[in-house]
Amino acid sequence: MNHLTASLPARNHTVAFTGHRTYDGVADDELRQIVRYLYERGMSRFLCGMAWGFDLAAGRIVAELKREGADVELVAVEPFAEFRAMFSGDDIALYDEVLRAADERVVVAENDKMAYMRRNDYLVDNAAVVVAWWDGKPRSGTAYTVKRARKKRLEIVNIFPQPQLELEF
């Protein structure tokens, strides 16, 4: 464990990722810089919601950091056990890559209509910082997660263009 976080409760050194499935990698360099910056601040545990798009891009970047020798923990947080079956094409390979790099796998619910919300609740309830790719639209799982993080007074970093303008509710 990172010497900066050894005495802190797990949540205090944990980052969760949330973002749209339409994310196309456009901000990977910025995301990489933010992950490194948070690691240098003492954040050593990263929760990946495992959805295609932003989640898996973030998980891949944490996996890269691990391969470079950083003392980080990657946690794959899946909404339900059969979630991988929802993937196709290149997304399956990326899903498998992130899952192989994960130190822990958490499955939060049965495959029901509340599974995604329960996954998002888990991300927020177990983190101190949320890194988001949120376009500001109010009706999405990402919006729900950002709003919940805001209510819990977590630090939120939104890297969508015009990032911090939409965070007030």
Residue 3 in any domain: the answer is no
User: Residue 164 has what pLDDT?
Assistant: 52
Q: What is the CATH number of the domain that holds 154?
A: 3.40.50.450
Binned average pLDDT, 10 residues per bin, the chain of 169 residues: 46 95 96 98 97 98 97 97 94 97 95 93 98 92 96 96 55
Residue 1 in any domain: the answer is no
Q: How many residues does the chain have?
A: 169
DSSP H helical ranges for 88-140: 90-101, 115-125
Residue 18 in any domain: the answer is yes
Residue 116 in any domain: the answer is yes
Q: How many structural domains is the chain composed of?
A: 1
- Taking the whole predicted model, whether its pTM rises above 0.85 is answered as yes
User: Residue 7 has what pLDDT?
Assistant: 42
If phi over 0 gives left and psi between -120 and 50 gives alpha, with beta otherwise, what is residue 50?
left
Residue 2 in any domain: the answer is no
Return d(Cα 114, Cα 127) in angstroms, integer.
Answer: 20
Residue 159 in any domain: the answer is yes
Residue with tokens 């900066």: 4
User: Residue 112 has what pLDDT?
Assistant: 84
Residue 143 in any domain: the answer is yes
Range of 72's domain?
Answer: 10-164
Residue 169 in any domain: the answer is no
